[in-house]
Amino acid sequence: MTVKLIVLAITLFIYVLIIVAFNRARMKYKGGRVGDVINLILITVVLLFLADYVGLLDAYISDNVAFILQTLFRTTALSFLALGGTRIAGR
């Protein structure tokens, strides 16, 4: 295995742990601000997950397109987190 695959496997494990933990918390804390924050974190983590794993499409897309998609997913995740956080804090 290459170093890239080892790092991706470790990050996949971390992403799965985060998603499982927050999904269980979402079931427990439905509604209200806590539920909204949990949903916000889950969507952000999924978008960051997609950004990290765009690199696996190297064989099918060019490096420039992969970089654009990665940047787009990361920017979307951070923008979603910022705008959603201000919306939740403004209530």
The answer to whether the CB of 15 falls within 8 A of the CB of 49 is yes
CA 2 to the chain's CA centroid: 24
Q: Tell me the pLDDT tens digit for each residue of 70-88.
A: 999 999 999 999 999 898 8
- Per the structure, how many domains does the chain have? 1
* Residue showing tokens 């990361």: 74
Report helix, strand or coil for 1. Answer: coil
CA pair distance 33, 35, nearest whole angstrom: 5
Is the per-residue pLDDT at 31 higher than 90?
Answer: no
Range of the domain at 51: 3-89
**pTM of the full predicted structure?**
0.85
Task: Count CB neighbours of 9 within 10 A.
Answer: 11
Task: Count CB neighbours of 83 within 10 A.
Answer: 11
State which amino acid sits at residue 50: L
